[in-house]
């Protein structure tokens, strides 16, 4: 009997395999429900696998053309991937569907408006947004699109009003975004006006944000820039001394302009006492000490220059690079010294500042509080590059 045991086992295993093969052919695994596949596609999206998510959504809309959400999200994903035209085609196709609920019509309409804004079809976007105002005016997404439409159309006052209206219309927990956006947008406009010499327009924008605490230090910065532009160094310095020393970021932006104004104005009797008082502040940066030292030099008071700098011995940040403007002046007075000869042949490193938007990477040569490229607010940070060795 034992000699037949392997044959018996083999026949048994073969029978089991045939049974499972028959079962699989006659009773296939049930197909995954479309809703489950849709959720799997969204999970892939959230995990960052956009290609997989896109393919899963494409398969779904191909196999289930009557679906709504897969069409909607595929369009949103295409827009995210930069294919704005295809996104708009998908979303526009959904807008003519008769089986959409009112809430879904709003969602689809907002998606289409966002596609059109990316395509810079501002008139078409406006038409869509106009039809949605009754049902969508309480949504943050609506007012963001409204702002982008007006700004893209060059209607900056209307863009600001959209941000202000959004603050009044959306849920309470979403209002701080619009308050900060409105403040930064108006201050950025004021900043651009100053740089273009449009001082009256800059003052008008400052009035728009007057009394908003979050914008105080930047408002003072623009006011100080206006005073400097008006060749009023005493007012510019007073504003800096009274309001900006507790805000080093804004102060650092203003000091180069202040230095130039002080040196060119010749109004030493008015500005010197203010600058001396300002330099006593613990927040006063070393570059301000150099400004004061340069004024002493202009007045021919070398002893005061040296005494001032001696009192700053050991203070952090007081480096040769900061003191370079004064060192240059001193070297010119002693051009026959060995130090002067060496100084003149040195390749003195300088630092340049660019400002980079943390959201989209756009570069500006000067500080901005609003990014024209990605429409984000307060997103620029300084990018410092040394020119040494270039």
- With 70 as the cut, is the pLDDT of residue 221 above it? yes
And the tokens for 287? 């570059």
Structure confidence at residue 247 as a pLDDT band (50, 70, 90): confident
Instruction: Report the CATH superfamily, name and number, of domain 38-136.
Output: Tetratricopeptide repeat domain (1.25.40.10)
- With 70 as the cut, is the pLDDT of residue 101 above it? yes
Express each pLDDT in 42-71 by its tens digit.
676 677 777 877 777 787 777 777 788 888
Express each pLDDT in 66-83 by its tens digit.
788 888 888 888 898 899
| pLDDT confidence of residue 75 | 86
Q: Read out DSSP for 15-69?
A: HHHHHHHHHHHHSPPPPPPHHHHHHHHHHHHHTT-HHHHHHHHHHHHHH-TT-SH
- With 90 as the cut, is the pLDDT of residue 244 above it? no
Express each pLDDT in 374-387 by its tens digit.
999 999 988 765 44
- With 60 as the cut, is the pLDDT of residue 204 above it? yes
Whose tokens are 């689809």? That residue is 108
What average pLDDT score do residues 166-180 get? 96
Q: What are the sequence ranges of the domains in the chain?
A: 38-136, 245-342, 347-371+379-390
Express each pLDDT in 291-320 by its tens digit.
888 888 888 888 888 888 888 888 888 888
For the chain, give the mean pLDDT.
82
């Amino acid at each position: 009997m034992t000699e037949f045991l392997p044959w018996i086992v083999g026949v048994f295993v073969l029978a089991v395999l045939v049974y499972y093969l028959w079962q699989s052919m006659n009773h296939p695994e049930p197909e995954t429900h479309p809703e489950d596949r849709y959720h799997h596609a969204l999970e892939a999206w959230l995990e960052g696998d956009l290609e997989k998510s896109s393919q899963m959504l494409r398969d779904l809309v191909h196999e289930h053309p009557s679906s709504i959400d897969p069409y909607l999200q595929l369009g949103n994903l295409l827009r995210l991937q930069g294919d704005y035209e295809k996104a708009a085609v998908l979303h526009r196709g959904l807008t003519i569907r008769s089986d959409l609920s009112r809430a879904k019509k709003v969602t689809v309409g907002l998606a289409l408006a966002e596609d059109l804004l990316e395509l810079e079809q501002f008139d078409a976007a406006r038409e869509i947004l106009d039809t949605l105002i009754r049902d969508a005016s309480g949504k943050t997404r609506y007012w963001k699109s409204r702002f982008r439409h007006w700004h893209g159309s060059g209607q900056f006052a209307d863009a600001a009003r959209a941000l202000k209206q959004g603050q009044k219309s959306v849920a309470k927990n979403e209002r701080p975004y619009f308050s900060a956006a409105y403040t930064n947008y108006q201050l950025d406009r004021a900043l651009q006006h100053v740089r273009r010499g449009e001082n009256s327009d800059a003052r008008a924008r400052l009035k728009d944000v007057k009394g908003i605490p979050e914008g105080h230090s930047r408002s003072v910065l623009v006011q100080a820039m206006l005073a400097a532009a008006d060749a009023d160094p005493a007012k510019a310095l007073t504003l800096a001394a009274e309001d900006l020393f507790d805000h080093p970021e804004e102060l650092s932006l203003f000091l180069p302009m202040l230095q130039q104004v002080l040196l060119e104005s010749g109004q030493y009797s008015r500005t010197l006492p203010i600058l001396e008082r300002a330099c006593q502040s613990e927040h006063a940066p070393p570059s301000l000490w150099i400004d004061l030292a340069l004024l002493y030099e202009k007045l021919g008071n070398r002893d005061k220059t040296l005494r001032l700098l001696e009192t700053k011995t050991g203070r952090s940040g007081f480096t040769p690079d900061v003191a370079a403007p004064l060192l240059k002046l001193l070297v010119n007075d002693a051009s026959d010294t060995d130090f002067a000869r060496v100084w003149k042949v040195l390749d003195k490193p300088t630092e340049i500042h660019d400002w980079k938007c943390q959201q989209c990477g756009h570069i500006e040569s000067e500080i901005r509080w609003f990014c024209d490229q990605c429409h984000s607010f307060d997103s620029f940070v300084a990018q410092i590059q040394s020119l040494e060795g270039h």
